[in-house]
Amino acid sequence: MNKLLILVVEDDPAIRNLMATTLKAHDYRYIAAPTGASALMQASTAQPDVMLLDLGLPDMDGVEIIRKIRTWSQMPIIVISARAEDTDKIDALDAGADDYLTKPFSVEELLARLRVTQRRLNFMQTSTPSPIFTNGELKIDYAAGCAWLGEQELHLTPMEYKLLCVMARNVGKVLTLSFITQKVWGSSTESDIASLRVFMATLRKKLSAGKEDAQYIQTHIGVGYRMQKL
């Protein structure tokens, strides 16, 4: 069933080869583009399902490419960055990227990200706009303003609930700290981020009640958080 069409944008031939071989071996279809300009053309003509975008392209700034694509498409974009700094990833995520990988990455990691993306795509295609959100055991009734874990109603503070809703509405996407604090507090100061850490910790504790292995919320150190699609 792995029939996703993946656009690989990467200027280095060796890495492009590696990704192509890996994708082929795991039944993905793929097309490749070595430059930003050709990537934009491929993205509009071939209509790929997912884009793997290297941020260090010779002709264009990666963040610029994301902005351009986001003007007409919501296709998932996974950025690949060689730099150790988090700022370029954060910029890319804030510009509309869904996920990121840091070079050097293992093949396993790449495949894991693609699986996450596929689940997210399936979720987006199948679910009709509904006032009820479900993800594994977790259920949120936006209209009633309450959440359940299995049969158990979650006793959340207003802040925790707000936070949970922001995460749920962007399920599968890595959200940057400033994105979340902007959504919840309307600002992004140092004390907002500290508050976010605290509420996220209590929220997680309530979500993982009983089951240690059910990790709904994933931490991305120095970047942000993501609600996983289970």
Partner 1 sequence: MRKTIHEHILVCLSSAPSNANTIRAAAKLSKAFGGTLTALYVQTKSADQMGAEDRRRLQRHTRLAEKLGASVSAVTGDDVAFQIAEFARISKATKIVLGRSAAPKGRIFAPKPLTEQLVELAPYLDIYIIPDSAGKNRRRQNPATRQRIRPSVQDVLITIGILTLSTVIGFAFHRMRFTEANTITIYILGVLLTALFTKNHVCSGISSLAGVLLFNFFFTEPRLSFRAYASGYPVTFAVMLFASLLTGTLANQLAVHAKRSTQTAWRTQVLLETTQRLSRAEEEEDILAVMADQLLKLLNRPILLRCANGVTIRRHPDGEPAEDFAGANAQRFAFACGGKPFGEVLVEGDALEPLESGILHSILGEGALAIENRQNARQKEEAAVVAKNEQLRANLLRSISHDLRTPLTSISGNAETLLTCGGGMAESDRRAMLTDIYEDAVWLIRLVENLLSITRIDEGHARLSMTTELVDEVIAESLRHVRAKTHTIETDLGDELLLARMDARLVSQVIVNLVENAVKYTPEGSKIEISARRQEKEILVRVADHGPGIPDEAKPRVFDMFYTGSQKIADCRRSMGLGLYLCQSIIHLHGGTIAVTDNIPHGCVFAFTLPVSEVTINE
Kindly tell me which of 65 and 177 has the beta carbon lying closer to partner 1. 177
* Site residue total, partner 1 (CB under 8 A): 24
Considering only residues 192-211, where is the footprint of partner 1 by CB under 8 A?
192-195, 197-202
Kindly tell me which of 29 and 103 has the beta carbon lying closer to partner 1. 103
14 contributes a contact to partner 1 by CB under 8 A: no
**Can you list the alpha helix ranges (DSSP code H) found in 96-157?**
107-126
Site string for partner 1, 58-97 (x = CB under 8 A): --------------------------xxxx----------
Kindly tell me which of 89 and 173 has the beta carbon lying closer to partner 1. 89
Shortest CB 139 distance to partner 1, Å? 25
Shortest CB 79 distance to partner 1, Å? 17
Long-range contacts of 77-81 (CB under 8 A, 24+ apart): 77/50, 77/51, 77/53, 78/50, 78/51, 78/52, 78/53, 78/113, 78/114, 78/117, 79/53, 79/54, 79/55, 80/10, 80/52, 80/53, 80/54, 80/55, 80/105, 81/54, 81/55, 81/56
- Cα angle for residues 47, 49, 52 (degrees, 5° grid): 105
Kindly tell me which of 54 and 192 has the beta carbon lying closer to partner 1. 192
